[in-house]
Structure 1
Amino acid sequence: MNKIIKDTIHANGIDIGIYTSDFENEYISLTDIARYKSDSPDDVIKNWLRNKDIIEFLGLWESLNNPGFKPVEFDGFKKQAGSNAFTLSPKKWIESTSAIGIVSKSGRYGGTYAHSDIAFEFASWISPEFKLYIIQDYKRLKTEETSKLSLNWNLNREISKLNYKIHTDAIKANLIPPELTPIQISYTYANEADLLNTVLFGRTAKQWRDENPEAKGNIRDHATIYQLLVLANMESYNAVLINQGKSQAERMSLLHELAVQQLSTLDRLELNSLPGIEKKNND
């Protein structure tokens, strides 16, 4: 699992690291949280893991979220937990049960991290008051993140609009003979737009509207940031292909190749998969 540091929680004078590897599940540093209680955070974490209730909680979390979790090994820890002789380190827990909720890292950002569900449980054990400070700043980070995503969405939407103007100018210059009526010209624009819609979304604007009669706006208004980014690139590329005199069938094939290539790159960055790109119009 490659670690990507996202941000830092500032809770009552303590900086607490956060990372994610998939942009969905966030892992919070138990080591940093433990420093609120002691200068020996590893010992604090080990003491926490000695509790029977905690072992049962961790086992339930893994059972719900981790298909590879080893229940037999977990039962062994559960039977021993709470006894005076019982000790358990994060590394031993991870290696014995194939747990994913707690992660032990080395290097610059090393330490023990846990999924946010587990980290908040640990913070409650450290101090209910300190947990509230953590949650307060965590909410601030999530609000800022949502704001940035909204800004990026709007920015990419505007880029898409600008590229659409370039796109339609290319259509006007190369695909619309002077003798066509305004209705025919409008149809040609719609046809080219739906070429892009079909390549990227797997459906035309009308098909999307028929499937979503209650939705506000159009198919592109409901696109993700990443769909809009690919759409903007497709519009620019389509304008170039039109100027080169490529037929619509040729352009659709080339645009499909471009979209697949770019979406594959986004997939390698572990971004959410985008629907419909595998569908290709062979008309």
Structure 2
Amino acid sequence: MPANKKINVLSTEVKVKTTDQSDFICLTDIAKSKNPDHPDDLIRNWLRNRNTLELLGIWEQLHNPDFNPVEFDGIRKQAGLNSFTLTPKQWISLTGAVGLSSKAGRYGGTYAHQDIAFEFASWVSVEFKLYLIKEFQRLKEEEQKQLGWDVKRQLTKINYRIHTDAVKENLIPPELTGQQVSFVYASEADLLNMALFGKTAQQWREEQPDKKGNIRDYANVSQLVCLANLETLNAHLIQQALPQAERLRLLNRTAIQQMRILTGDPRINKLEGEA
């Protein structure tokens, strides 16, 4: 499973992890807001509740084709008895439930699908549930923004692969040393930098000594779109065996034309605001 993400709810750190495109929230962390010394006791008390079992059973029937309804009926009949106890692991083992997961150890804990976790939070504290939903929604909004930015970056990287493959096939003679190959790639990368930014990567670093990364990390959406187009165009020009100086002129002319169009496009402006 991916590494846990964390949100802060009323001074309580709550872990969130995603598996199979579903978000699971740590019930153990939620329980700590009410009973920091014995959070598992709170979860077991919640599982003893008949309303809780009805909720869990209905959720599993809606989302889990392998759920065992026979075992569920047996558990439900015992709910309410003084002798009835149930742990998350027992529930999962007996019924084949997937809405809960439980793992022992330092990095373990009991997690629940967000639908179930919100109900548990409401049982613990209505106030906590409302703040949990708010912080969870904020987390998902940030993920969507990051996803949009990653897609833009990946588009540029994919186009750059086309570009570098053309360099390798058309500009690099056989038997070059690794250092010579790197020099040719760097030269072509800076050709694009000059066409779009008017400076090489080294010149940018000298002008921006306090910034980390490279010139392209600070490009806006319009520049990233233009850069992707320039990479494809340069690959085509390389295949036509045009000299570098001539390609630079053509790329710079194209960059000027495209940036004029892109900076005036309201859809690009909207993406700029979301990035």
- Shorter-chain TM-score above 0.5: yes
Contact 1:104–1:110 (8 Å) recurs in 2: yes
- Listed one character per residue, the Cα deviations across residues 69-116 of structure 1 (whole Å, up to 9, x for unaligned) are 110000011111123332111111111111111111123321111111
The residue correspondences of 1:89-108 to structure 2 (distance < 5 A) are: 89-108=87-106
Point out where structure 2 has 5 or more consecutive residues left out of the alignment: 172-227, 240-275
Residue 140 of structure 1: aligned partner:
138
Q: Which residue of 2 aligns with 1:14?
A: 12
CA distance in 1, matches of 2:4, 2:60: 24
Q: Tell me, which stretches of 5 or more residues in structure 1 are unaligned?
A: 174-231, 244-283
Shift of 1:134: 0.9
Native 8 Å contact 1:34 1:44 kept in 2: yes
Matches within 5 A, 1:159-238: 159-165=157-163
Which of 30, 35, 55 is the equivalent residue of 2:32? 35
Letter in 2 for 1:5: A
Q: Between 75-84 and 40-49, report the one with greater CA deviation.
A: 75-84
2:128 counterpart letter in structure 1: F
Which of 43, 46, 71 is equivalent to 1:45? 43
Read off the aligned partner of 1:57 and give its amino acid letter.
L
- The equivalent position to 1:25 in structure 2, one of 15, 22, 25, is 22
Question: Which of 50, 54, 57 pairs up with 1:56?
Answer: 54
Secondary structure, aligned partner of 1:10: strand
Cα distance between partner residues in 2 of 1:169 and 1:13: 54
Residues 104 and 169 of structure 1, relative CA distance in 2, 3 Å threshold: closer
Name the stretch that deviates more: 76-85 or 162-171. 162-171
Shift in Å at residue 65 of structure 1? 1.2
Contact 1:5 1:17 in 2 (8 A): no
- Counterpart of 1:52, as a letter, is R
> What is the root-mean-square deviation of aligned Cα atoms in Å?
2.7
- After TM superposition, give the deviation of residue 124 of structure 1 in Å: 0.7
**Matches of residues 101-140 of structure 1 in structure 2 within 5 Å?**
101-140=99-138
Measure how far apart 1:161 and its partner are: 3.6
Write out per-residue CA displacement over residues 251-282 of structure 1, whole angstroms, 9 at most, x where no aligned residue: xxxxxxxxxxxxxxxxxxxxxxxxxxxxxxxx
For 1:37, give the aligned amino acid: K
The share of aligned pairs that are identical, in percent, is 49
Output the TM-score relative to the length of structure 1: 0.56
Q: Is the 8 A contact 1:123 1:130 kept in 2?
A: yes
Contact residue 102 and residue 112 of structure 1 kept, 8 A: yes
In 2, the alpha carbon distance for the partners of 1:16 and 1:109 equals 13
Total equivalences in the alignment: 176
Secondary structure in structure 1 of the residue aligned to 2:15: strand
Which amino acid in the other structure matches residue 28 of structure 1? I
Amino acid at match of 1:125: W
Amino acid in structure 2 at the alignment position of 1:32:
D
The structure whose Rg is larger is 2
More helix by share: 2
Change (3 A) 1:38 1:169: closer
Alignment CA distance shift 1:75-1:106 (3 Å): same
Partner residue, 1:72: 70
Within-5 A mapping of 1:271-282:
none
